[in-house]
Amino acid sequence: MPSLQETLKGHIREGQEIDLILPAYNPFSDEREKVRIPRDEGYRVHMARCAWLRVVMTLRSAARRITGGSSLLYPVRWILNLSMLLGITFSFLIKSLRLYQNATKPDLVYAHNQYAALAGYLLGRLWRCPNVTRLYGTFLADLMEKPLVALRYPTAAAGFLVPSSLLICANDGTRGNTVAETFRIDPIRFRFWQNGVTPPTVAPKADRAMLASRLGPQLRIHSKWVISCSRLSYWKRIDRMIRALAACREKGTDCQLLIAGEGKERGALEKLAVQLGVSRDIIWLGAVPHEDIWAIMNVADVFMITNDVTNRCNPLYEAAWAGLPVVSIFDPSTEDLLSDYKNALLADKEDTQSLGEKLAEVCSNDTLAKQLRVEQKQLAASFWSWEERMKIEVMELKKLVASRERRGMRVFTTGGQT
């Protein structure tokens, strides 16, 4: 996950020493393959066994088979999520205590995501050092007016309610600040920060012919290229883009949709493309390294994003840096970033016909596309770089350590996202 990678890189740049503990299996997947250990980036990686996760995966798969592959029943989901929270807490505690059994204790514990928050708090109390919780968004904002939210969604609430010296929540459009306010989180220990963006210092050396030779013969050099970057999860709503592409092609516009990302929705999306007659106009890129995304954005014509929950995310920032016109949906999370016919073309989220017409318009009107590109560059100038973002965070961490009259900075992190 780029935001986690950039956070760790930022810690290293500022001279921190990091032990990173990861679960041996991905708690958010039913795949039983062990998590790949990241290559050496200047921090030490340790794997918590989490053998119990295989049992949870088996139960989760069995429950999905019983329900015909649909989403899990609420009571089953509640039990499994709480089991994962408690299991990860136990596994991280055991691994951490063994790791530091005969070593100098860390100056700070940094828990990435809600599943690691409880372990971070307990280790912080045990070692008498500050603990930080970092959240990468939340789905709780629209549920906060309902009764007993913390009881009904204990794992999501844990990220906010487990005590921490500092709680950092991403300003990604999911309104974590609203959740924090409703849970009465002390503003003194709450930070609501937008992610940084770090474009290449030199424009990627790539052109259409080069990319076409690498990505396959289906890629048409003289078509308009529309790029999408996301996991193929349902809430990302790639189906809206495919329906919009069909509407765009009905207008006679020669364009192709390049979809970067993998996920369990791919099979259903490929079937939809066949049904709508646009399968030849879609290039499935699969998982793409981050640096290659920059290369593709450098030669693409349009960026498209149509998520359900929030569209305020890193790929949108990166598209602005690349000066790409955006075709998206009206969304409160991006109303301060995207303006219709200023730096983007927007449609109602359920009106895929209008979305397709907007896509056709920007693909066929070079004057409009140029205007949108200029405005995107101006928007990008207001963003933090990741280096700027992390300098501010590290200053906050140093204050926490200094307040405990400690010297030096060795950070101990736990997390479940890789």
For 16-28, what is the mean pLDDT? 90
What are 226-239's pLDDT values in tens digits? 999 998 988 899 99
Average pLDDT rounded to a whole number, residues 275-292: 89
Enumerate residues 6+ apart whose C-beta is below 8 A from 153: 140, 143
Cα(354)–Cα(248) distance, rounded to whole angstroms? 9
Residues 313/307, Cβ–Cβ less than 8 Å: yes
**Cα–Cα distance for residue pair 266/100, rounded to 1 Å:** 43
Query: Which residues have a Cβ under 8 Å from the Cβ of 62 and sit 6 or more positions away?
Result: none
Pick the closest to residue 107 from 128, 92, 126, 91 (CA basis): 128
The whole-angstrom separation of Cα 215 and Cα 154 is 44
Q: What single-letter DSSP state applies at residue 308? A: S
Q: Write out the H or E segment, with its range, that includes residue 256.
A: strand 255-260
Report the C-alpha gap between 341 and 15 in whole angstroms. 45
Give 197's pLDDT tier (boundaries 50, 70, 90): confident
Q: What gap in Å lies between CA 391 and CA 418, rounded to an integer?
A: 22
Between 16-20, 147-151, 227-231, 293-297, the lowest mean confidence (pLDDT) is in 293-297
- Residue length of the chain: 418
Tell me phi and psi for residue 328, to 5 degrees.
-150, -165
- Give the residues across from 227 on adjacent strands: 258, 303
Residue 400's closest CA among 1, 101, 61, 106? 106
Q: What is the DSSP letter of 301?
A: S
Question: Given a cut of 60, is residue 277 above it in pLDDT?
Answer: yes
Extended strands (E) in 71-130: 108-112
Mean local confidence (pLDDT), 377-382 = 91
* Structure tokens, 410: 């060795």
By DSSP bridging, strand 255-260 and strand 326-329 are: unpaired
Strands (E), 38-104: 44-48
How large a percentage of the chain has pLDDT more than 70?
Answer: 95
Q: Count how many Cα atoms sit within 13 Å of the Cα of residue 384 in the half-sphere of its side chain.
A: 15
Between vectors from CA 128 to CA 41 and to CA 109, what angle results, nearest 5°?
25
Q: What is the pLDDT of residue 418?
A: 34
Backbone angles phi, psi at 276, to 5 degrees: -90, 0
Average pLDDT over every residue of 333-345: 93
Whether the per-residue pLDDT at 204 is higher than 90: the answer is no
- Mean pLDDT along residues 138-156: 92
Fill in the amino acid letter for 54. R
Q: How far apart are the C-alpha atoms of 358 and 120, rounded to whole Å?
A: 47
Structural domains of the chain ordered from first start: 2-196+385-415 (3.40.50.2000), 208-380 (3.40.50.2000)
Residue indicated by tokens 């280096």: 387
Contact indicator for 198, 292 with CB cutoff of 8 Å: no
Instruction: Dihedral sign for Cα 226, 227, 232, 235, please.
Output: negative
Cβ contact 292:318 at 8 Å = no
Q: Which amino acid is at 6?
A: E
Taking phi over 0 as left and psi of -120 to 50 as alpha, with beta for the rest, 218 belongs to alpha
pTM: 0.79
**With 50 as the cut, is the pLDDT of residue 179 above it?**
yes
Mean pLDDT in residue range 311-327: 91
- Tell me: pLDDT of 183 over 90: yes
CA 83/CA 210 separation, integer angstroms: 49
Q: Which of 385, 213, 221, 201 is nearest to 299 (CA)?
A: 221
195-218: average pLDDT: 73
pLDDT exceeds 90 at position 405: no
Whole-angstrom distance, CA of residue 130 vs CA of residue 120: 9
